[in-house]
Amino acid sequence: MIDETNHFDVVIAGAGPAGSSLAIRLAKQGLRVALVEQKRFPRHKLCGEFISPECLSHFQELGVLDELTATGIELKRTVFYTRKSTWAAVPSEWFGQSANALGLSRSKMDHALLERARDLNVEIFEEHNAVGLIRDGTNICGIRVKTSDANTNEIRADLTIDATGRSRVLVRHLDTAPRTKADFVAFKTHFTGANVPEGDCEIYAYRGGYGGCSGVENGRHNLCFIVSAILAKQYSGDAQSIMRNVLFTNERAKNALTNATVAEPWLAVAIENYGRFNLAPAEGLIAVGDAAAFIDPFTGSGMLLALECSRIAAAAIETNKGRSFNELADTYSREHSRSFDKRLRVSSLLRNMAFVPFLAESTIKLLSLSTALTRRIARSTRPSTRNQ
């Protein structure tokens, strides 16, 4: 039960990596934080479940490094395959860290971050669905939530943060324009018995999309793939049919997964937009993580973006304590742009190539011939040295 007389410094909607890591950082600043989450953790989440090496410094700062590295699977390289199995590899060591990437389920990672936030006295409200914004004129001063037993309450705060991912639940309450039609649909599950070499993350190119498969804990492999909405509709949204008729046009994907067994129910989500969104859409409200900017999954940097974004937001909040919201928003937007705009532009270019079969095939073939070019393109999707 929420005490409606309570008032928080910050309320965050969404307890994924962006929301929970921001809650941890703000709690360390001495702020009173409420973290609102629609689900009860642990829970499965659609995601490539690839944690790039740069994320480990964030986990160290957040106090969860030992727990997550003890659970995750080391991924030493990412291998991109054409439909006919020409390949180009990107070693994890290229990203300037002393450790490899990790394969780790969102169920494990998100739960660890949530519990760390709880340990720091963040007030956690699981199974609370954000259903509206509290307004004082043009200022946002909290959120309305509905509990699992259908009760509605208010959580008021000086600052409200949308960390609800691509759904952008809070921001959409401000937007009266109709939602755009989704261009893509993503699917995800875990398999047992996948024929993928230990330490590899495999990326498969095919007509109408791309997919990836890599190890996670408990001897399982995560498969996450994207197809055009047109293809998804053609196969009635059935993930198994799409996998066998679309993904398996890539010879390597077929070899890796034909004899594997689905270990969990399929998850699916529509993808409307990539790129950067409005970071401060109303006074008193900012967006972080995928609600702020969505980077292409094949870059393997989605988790990194969420953690970096939260670090930037926390620093902006600390720097602007006692100042106006506009000063906070300006600081946050400036640092977000400096860190991500170039990466988002590069990813947009690569995405456009990935969905044109001839270009995707030609690019991977070219990269297979030039280690230097492969490294340069891979590094362009990551922070510059000065930002690390």
Q: What is the pLDDT of residue 178?
A: 61
Helix axes 325-354, 302-319, angle to 10 degrees: 170
Whether the pLDDT of residue 125 is over 60: the answer is yes
Q: What is the pLDDT of residue 5?
A: 53
> Could you tell me if residue 218 is inside a domain?
no
Q: What is the pLDDT of residue 106?
A: 97
Whether the pLDDT of residue 384 is over 80: the answer is no
Assign 204 to helix, strand or coil.
Answer: strand
**Pick the residue with more confidence: 349 or 333?**
333
> Could you tell me if residue 34 is inside a domain?
yes
pLDDT in tens, 20-50: 999 999 999 999 999 999 999 999 999 999 9
Q: Where are the alpha helices (DSSP H) in the chain?
A: 17-28, 55-62, 65-71, 106-119, 169-172, 229-234, 239-245, 251-257, 302-319, 325-354, 357-369, 371-379
For residues 175-198, give the mean pLDDT.
87
Locus of tokens 């109709």: 178
Question: Residue 272 phi/psi, 5° resolution?
Answer: -90, -50
What stretch of H or E contains 125? strand 123-126
Of 39, 315, 59, 68, nearest in space to 165 by CA: 39
Assign 115 to helix, strand or coil.
Answer: helix
Q: What is the pLDDT of residue 388?
A: 43
- Beta-bridge mates of residue 132: 144
DSSP letter string, 314-327: HHHHHHTTTS-HHH
For residues 183-191, give the mean pLDDT.
95
> Could you tell me if residue 203 is inside a domain?
no
Whether the pLDDT of residue 387 is over 50: the answer is no
Whether the pLDDT of residue 18 is over 70: the answer is yes
pLDDT in tens, 128-154: 999 999 999 999 999 999 988 888 999
For residues 321-341, give the mean pLDDT.
96
- Beta-bridge mates of residue 124: 35
> Could you tell me if residue 88 is inside a domain?
no
Whether the pLDDT of residue 195 is over 70: the answer is yes
pLDDT in tens, 46-88: 999 999 999 999 999 999 999 999 999 999 999 999 999 899 9
Q: What is the pLDDT of residue 358?
A: 66
Instruction: Please give the share of the chain, as a percent, with pLDDT higher than 90.
Output: 74
Q: What is the pLDDT of residue 242?
A: 97
> Could you tell me if residue 259 is inside a domain?
no
Whether the pLDDT of residue 122 is over 60: the answer is yes
Residue 31 structural domain: 7-76+97-178+273-354
Q: What is the pLDDT of residue 28?
A: 98
Q: How many domains in the chain? A: 1
> Could you tell me if residue 84 is inside a domain?
no
- Ranges 156-165, 173-182, 200-209, 248-257: which has the least confidence: 173-182
Q: What is the pLDDT of residue 12?
A: 98
Q: What is the pLDDT of residue 95?
A: 79
Whether the pLDDT of residue 190 is over 60: the answer is yes
> Could you tell me if residue 306 is inside a domain?
yes
Residues 203, 163 contacting (CB under 8 angstroms): no
How far is C-alpha 336 from the geometric centre of its chain's CA atoms?
16
pLDDT in tens, 210-220: 999 999 999 99
Helix axes 371-379, 357-369, angle to 10 degrees: 120
Residues 292, 336 contacting (CB under 8 angstroms): yes
> Could you tell me if residue 289 is inside a domain?
yes
Report the CATH number at residue 298. Answer: 3.50.50.60
Structure tokens at 292: 């702020």
Of 106, 90, 124, nearest in space to 44 by CA: 106
Burial of 40 (0-12, 13-18, 19+ CB in 10 A): exposed
